[in-house]
Amino acid sequence: MRRIEEAFAGARRHRRAAFIPYLTAGDPSAKVTLDLVLALERAGADLVELGVPFSDPLADGEVNQRAAARALAGGTTLAGVLEIVRRIRDRSSIPLILFTYVNPLLRMGMEPFARAAAGAGVDGVLATDLPVEESHDYRKFLLSCGIAPIFLVAPTTAPARLPAIAAACRGFVYYVARTGVTGERQGLPPELREGVERLRETTSLPIAVGFGVSTKSQVEEIAAFADGFVVGSALVKAVEDAGARSDLAEALSRRVREILPEGYGRSG
């Protein structure tokens, strides 16, 4: 949890929003995921979201669904994702957030999962389909292990629920830029800034915006009013397009450079 706080504080010191890339763990393999996360860190990532592949990913668009299917076909499990985290942690201190559905956590058991995730080096967990009103035990076990529970706020979230969601979060609050599933889009919704500002009235935590962020102009627009931005499908698609090529990590880094504004990130 401390690493998440330090990452956002570091971005603020540099007067920029935190860059949070997303990858599906295990796509195309566990070993390559390790290499890709290290490449993202070199390219300027402040935190990294690792998607836990799941057979019924309702919040994900076609690109992320295909990545999850490839990872599952390769034998990736929740325990395998935690092993990937453990290997990353041997090489890097970058904050790692698991982006998951609640079923895999229930299958492992909430308390065993929290202990295993903490032992591996996970900093935060976002269970996309777990309502905050049903998350008491989930949050209790994560917090007891020093892991930040992170929740989604959508444009359709009732204003009356915002204080409870914000109060349940640690590290940051994830604001969904648009209704629907993940995936690249041409533009940002005109009401996005207003939604983030409405959420900011309920919390002092950083707010990161994700879902559909895939171009430099979108990043520049979001960075003007949010504390972080998540880029997912555009990078997962780069991994898909590169396939088994030996220069996959470099291809991913090139895609990052296309998306980040000039001079953004640690090494451009």
Written as one string, the DSSP assignment of 112-152 is: HHHHHHHHHT--EEEETT--GGG-HHHHHHHHHTT-EEE-E
Question: Could you tell me the sign of the dihedral formed by the alpha carbons of 136, 141, 146, 148, in that order?
Answer: negative
Catalytic residue positions, numbered? 49, 60
For residue 250, give Cα distances in angstroms to 98, 181, 208, 232: 24, 28, 26, 17
Strand order across the 228-231 sheet: 148-150, 124-127, 96-100, 48-51, 18-24, 228-231, 207-210, 173-176, 152-153
pTM for the full model? 0.94
The answer to whether the beta carbons of residues 121 and 98 sit under 8 Å apart is no
SS3 31: helix
CA angle 5, 80, 246 (to 5 degrees): 90
Q: Where are the alpha helices (DSSP H) in 145-204?
A: 162-168, 192-200
CA dihedral 130, 136, 139, 145 (to 10 degrees): -140
How confident is the prediction along the chain (268 residues), in pLDDT tens digits per residue? 899 999 999 999 999 999 999 999 999 999 999 999 999 999 999 999 999 999 887 778 899 999 999 999 999 999 999 999 999 999 999 999 999 999 999 999 999 999 999 999 999 999 999 999 999 999 999 999 999 999 999 999 999 999 999 999 999 999 999 776 666 667 788 899 999 999 999 999 999 999 989 999 999 999 999 999 999 999 999 999 998 788 999 999 999 999 999 766 554 3
How is residue 17 annotated by DSSP? P
